Chains A and B, each alone.
Chain A
Amino acid sequence: MNERLLALADDELVLGWRDSEWTGIAPVLEEDVAFSSIAQNEIGHARALYTLVAGEDGDVDALAFDRPLEEYRCAPLVELRLLDWAHAIARRWLYELADEIRLAVLKDDADPTVAGLAAKIDREEAYHRMHAELWHERLRDEPRFQEAVDELWPYALGLLPAEQRSDLAGRAGREVVDAVERGAHTDELAALWEEMTIVRRSAPAGARW
């Protein structure tokens, strides 16, 4: 199993879930629409990546929802339940900065199916980056936003392997510090896992509607 693709897929699935928590309650209608679309895209990227990881006859839903909690590879940044707008935007901005770096590496992958999918994902992510950039321009001088970025910065570094972190620091205008690494999961992921796997667990033969 491709650990690197699985980690990316899990990041996108869980972040998609977190972003969708703004559906219906974002501060303005435009952001309701934006976060919902972004969430839909992230979950679509997760599905496409799980398809690659699962292989020809693999079960994408099983990979997404049937694993025990400790087998998820997502980074703690995406696990956090952030229902404060400054934090939600700080995470979007940091995530997109990091995601651009790792997608650029995957676009040059020796495996053409990986490179092709990374190129496709990157075309969609371009619009997420614009959204993050717009909000960063608006909020960057606000103390509440700056505090949120300070708090999430060690988590953002944990998205990337060590060799890509100085690139991220350069883009974010910050220093590399000790990262909150992948591996241990937050309590917040445990609660989310309960919620996102409940349909599969309650209807093991497969739900239909």
Chain B
Amino acid sequence: MISEAQVWDALAEIPDPEIPVISLVDLGVIRSVDVASGRVRVEFTPTFLGCPALEAMRSAMEDKVAELGARAEVQVIQDDSWSTDRITPAGREKLRAAGFAPPAPREATAPKLVQLQANVFRCPYCGSTKTRLENIFGPTPCRSLRYCESCRQPFEQFKTI
């Protein structure tokens, strides 16, 4: 009989397919794990609905649970319950260390352009807040491009969702 803690530990070994420095658990996309009579139910919330890694993440979760000797039922939850606020403190630190500026906290209303253009985003390389928005979109939908005026380093900023 496997425990929920074992499942969480196993899922914590799965790297995010697009940013492998953090795990799915660090990213906060596993909403719940429920083990009942050999059956493992995982509720999973995508970061972005169009994330192309959705299927890869689902099969990685199924494989990890299969290694524990159980079958996983992965249910994709399509609501607003995932937010970048769910990225764990450890996950945020790993992002920063890898050169991705962690997301700003979510607010009640959706972010506005003036906020993205404000000088409050910190460069993950030198810590300066003298950074400017280069492009709202980046290599994946979850990231923006910014440029640090202090150390002249372009960097990727996690969007707030």
| A interface with B by C-beta (< 8 Å) | 30, 33-34, 36-38, 40-45, 47-48, 51-52, 113, 116-117, 119-127, 130-131, 133-134
Contact = CB atoms under 8 A, between A and B. Distances in A.
Contacts, number: 80
Nearest to B141: A37
B14 to A, nearest CB: 21
A33 B154 CA distance: 16
Contacts of B138: 33, 37
A116 B145 CA distance: 29
Size bracket, chain B contacts:
20 to 34
Contacts of A37: 137-138, 140-141
Given A33-B138, A42-B50, A126 B110 contact: yes
A42 B159 CA distance: 17
Interface of B: 48-52, 78-81, 110-113, 116, 134-141, 145, 159, 161
Contacts of B141: 37, 40-41, 124, 127
Given A41-B49, A44-B48, A131-B137, A120 B116 contact: no
Contacts of A36: 137
A52 B78 contact: yes
B79 to A, nearest CB: 3
Q: Dominant SS at the B interface?
A: loop
B50 A45 contact: yes
Given A33-B135, A48-B78, A127 B159 contact: yes
A14 to B, nearest CB: 15
Contacts of A122: 110
B79 A124 contact: no
8 contacts: A37-B137, A40-B50, A41-B48, A44-B51, A117-B78, A119-B79, A123-B161, A125-B110
A108 to B, nearest CB: 13
A130 B48 contact: no
Contacts of A42: 50
A45 B49 contact: yes
Contacts of B112: 126, 130
A133 to B, nearest CB: 5
A41 B49 CA distance: 7
A125 B116 CA distance: 15
Contact of A124 (B135, B145, B161): B161
